[in-house]
Chains A and B, each alone.
Chain A
């Protein structure tokens, strides 16, 4: 029995999912504007939780995950856009994609599979690199994805957008997938692979002496992570209804990484919390940019304040709390009761009062 405690049950993901459900529940009571921001936040949560599977457990920063989002989004869109439009605009697609139209859940899964496949190829090449070199390689990957998707006109529409993607992603749909992502990410963290990967994050040399094949465990996390982020991309496509490659570039990379760092790379709780906190900061700043009427005067921040504000928040976190708001801890971290204290408590109860 006492061993199971080390896996600390599934309390953490359940608490996280319940909190996100509460936020969603409150959000859907709001107006359209609120619902839009809420859905956006939940989709980003899928993406950031997906990134965390790799970045959080391995300690290797990736600038390239938004590239997987792009891959997943386009793949899902290819499968669900009206064939008539595709036969005019996306003439480079294979027949079965160009002339067919597939159910949205399959389309999104297809996007995840394609993102995972790309991750196998990319990861096979870069997981051998040391941390910083691997990070730079992921950035190179992002640039490659962006230029391929911006220029391959016959398949992606190039710089003109893909339009007419069915918009079916409601707040509750996005919530369901965010909850799924949280659950899978936590299951990964406490799995054998998660443990080995976290050990390699702590000390690569000692991990190798502990019979851990670092390349293999990193690659496994990278692929799972890409698949989840790919799902986030598919959701994004079916939320906005329009796709442009530039959506998935530097500013989205920056904001998703900021979410990870603000919450704390070390824990899943950090990833989830970071998404919520950064979204609130961004929304408040956006509202202020738009102007707030105070009696007769309208106060408004100059345009661009959003990015500056987010940058300031990030800098402050790095200065005052470098390991993020959660400091690498999960919500409901088990009380540090050792097995010994448990034994003695049991003994005490067995002995009964008065002993």
Chain B
């Protein structure tokens, strides 16, 4: 193998690529060549590094120096300083926010410092399209161990003892699931990976599939041995074309290397793996709906029992696990159950990957030990709220979850604690909201989603979510009535009690949790016809702040309703009768001279 003095690990995740990684790569290549360094420096395109907020980013190994917000213009200087003069280039380093001191190495940067990488163990370190790079980092050692040295029962026992719980949302103990499937008599069993990632605001699974596809495949191979399965499917949503491509390449490489197919690694184990592309329906993330979808039908859930472990795909016993769940398996097999359960809380062991987004400074993908406090995630890793505004709530669990207010910021995150405060762990979406976000609008947003995605099979979900949404629309448009909040609560409880599948069972959560903690915002909309956060369009009044208006006329030109009048260089006026409250003037004004309240 060729040896290089330095490896440049460039993040080629979707986020960085759309900020220009490829142009920067080309510029780097060019510059390295011009300086005659091609034999010394190697560029590697890796999966998502996680620090999406600072993209495009790159890590220089072996020193571990982290460069961010790269631009093509800065490349010559960077190459000259770092690789010719041996002086890492401070200008592109992360700066400590208060004292503005550059922090050179990745592990010292607060965003990374508090993270523990197990699922994302290869994050930003390997080329996801190269099997040998995965193998070089202990890849497929766990599979080799499980297949050649362990019995099915032994594998199940380790997974059970580790305390690993499903990362797809419900948190069912993984080892138990495997055991149930193994015990069901049948000559055909299936292993299915749920890569549907339906939570609109989450991208953990995408990132794992794109950045480290072999970790999922290895987990599935081990599961296949554990439950004596010969065939598996990875269900990926079609909106994730890069994940599909990377997984397919990884599967092809495995077949070539004898890691999939007949007689894997000479152990006599046979396992075939296929990708199935979902066609875009949230409910297909639900396990029974997902399996119907693989069978080529409308993805409609059915009542359980029978559970998939007894009667799943084509009525055969099936283990269905989430992407992150499978990616957790190889290190458990290699390092043992105690190693895994050394992190976490009493009931929830190990780490969890979250997609941290919304109003925090450092948005991105993070992996933290369970039991960490929300405060640590939001303030230490997330860097706090952007633009100095104040925190209002954090939404976890997507459309099935709820909003957690400030008083619970010290909460230690695990499956039970989040459920206790009216939210759920979910798949790991974590959206931070601040004072400029309206909680009624947030609830309405999720309801719009679940209502549209309800498959329509059961009445409480189909009609109940529709009625909930109607009431929310009424409230946010200023037509709320006395008693609407109570009606929302009652209806929400009924839907939760009577729906067929997890979609309906959890759909009212966003409404119920926001009523629980932000009832006053609902009341303000209903009684005072005001939106305290100035979000709900129909309740807003737009006006011109005379002291800031310099009469540039941008708002007047942009107004679609011709509601703004004023001569050039004179203060403009908005006619509230004509105003359609579209917010365009607010967006186009460069002088902050439009007020909404």
- Whether chain B is bound by chain A comes out as no
Residues on A close to B: CB < 8 A?
Answer: none
